[in-house]
């Protein structure tokens, strides 16, 4: 019995290492592209590199989830508390508001993205704590609402980031724009963090839809 348990633990650890290696490689690629100004574009030009990276990320994820049973099993088995707590990092979005104070980011983008990120982060801490401490569990609708808000905030923030670029539809009249988000190191946020964290929201939705398997610690009302 102990041998079987050890083999299972070893298998799980290997899967974590593989996923960690993929994410780390992804991060390094984004850094390399950012340092070589691959995301930088001229005014009125579409940020093709960023758009392609988003499309590639969600396409690969969808194909892997739908076409590879082992990947689907792994994703549905990830600790939901971990996925939720990942969003606590979104508190750094408050930095957008600080950058706006120094005229480095447009007001509309900075405040909508910053406040949305902060609210998502606070909600993440609250939900994860309750999932760990409350024996009666957490209302499933509360997780759905938080997860929907967090994902929509990303959609709105990315959209506003594009629409507040130089000469874009919502560009500020004083010339302050969101071009900073396309420069290194800020490009790590849309090029990597937003995509990783948005995938965590998608995985949570998938776990909820498939009646999350880790009943030992997640109990829904």
Contacts of 32 (CB under 8 A, 6+ apart): none
pTM across the whole model = 0.88
- From the list 111, 120, 128, the residue with the least C-alpha distance to 90 is 120
- Read off the pLDDT of residues 173-196 as tens digits, 9 standing for 90 and up: 888 999 999 999 999 999 999 999
pLDDT above 90 covers a percentage of the chain that reads 66
In a domain, 104, yes or no: yes
In a domain, 218, yes or no: no
In a domain, 153, yes or no: yes
Whether the pLDDT of residue 62 is over 80: the answer is yes
Residue 157's pLDDT is what?
96
In a domain, 221, yes or no: no
* Mean pLDDT score, 87-114: 95
In a domain, 217, yes or no: no
Residue 216's pLDDT is what?
44
Whether the pLDDT of residue 212 is over 70: the answer is no
Tokens for 196? 């990783």
Q: Using CA atoms in the order 20, 85, 152, 59, what is the torsion angle rounded to 10 degrees?
A: 20
In a domain, 220, yes or no: no
CA atoms within 13 A on the CB side of 107: 4
Residue 4's pLDDT is what?
45
In a domain, 216, yes or no: no
Domain interval for residue 86: 2-209
Whether the pLDDT of residue 140 is over 90: the answer is no
In a domain, 82, yes or no: yes
For residues 53 and 35, give the distance between their C-alpha atoms in angstroms, rounded to a whole number: 16
User: What is the tally of structural domains in the chain?
Assistant: 1
* Mean pLDDT score, 33-57: 90
Give the Cβ contact number of residue 126 at 10 Å: 14
Tokens for 135? 């024996």
Mean pLDDT of the chain: 88
């Amino acid at each position: 019995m102990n041998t079987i348990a050890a083999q299972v633990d070893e298998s799980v650890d290997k899967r974590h290492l593989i996923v960690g290696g993929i994410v780390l490689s992804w991060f390094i690629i984004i850094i390399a592209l950012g340092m070589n100004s691959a995301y930088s574009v001229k005014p009125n030009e579409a940020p093709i590199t960023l758009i392609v990276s988003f499309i590639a990320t969600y396409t690969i994820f969808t194909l892997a989830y739908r076409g590879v049973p082992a990947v689907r099993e792994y994703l549905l088995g990830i600790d939901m508390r971990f996925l939720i707590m990942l969003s606590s990092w979104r508190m750094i979005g408050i930095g957008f508001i600080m950058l706006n104070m120094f005229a480095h980011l447009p007001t509309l983008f900075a405040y909508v993205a910053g406040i949305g990120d902060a609210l998502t982060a606070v909600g993440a801490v609250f939900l994860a704590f309750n999932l760990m401490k409350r024996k009666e569990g957490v209302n499933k609708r509360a997780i759905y609402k938080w997860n929907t808000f967090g994902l929509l905030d990303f959609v709105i923030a990315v959209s506003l980031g594009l629409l507040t670029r130089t000469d874009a539809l919502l560009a500020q009249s004083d010339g302050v724009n969101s071009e900073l988000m396309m420069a290194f190191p800020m490009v790590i946020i849309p090029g990597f963090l937003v995509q990783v964290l948005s995938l965590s929201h998608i995985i949570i939705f998938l776990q909820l839809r498939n009646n999350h398997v880790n009943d030992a610690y997640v109990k829904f009302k």
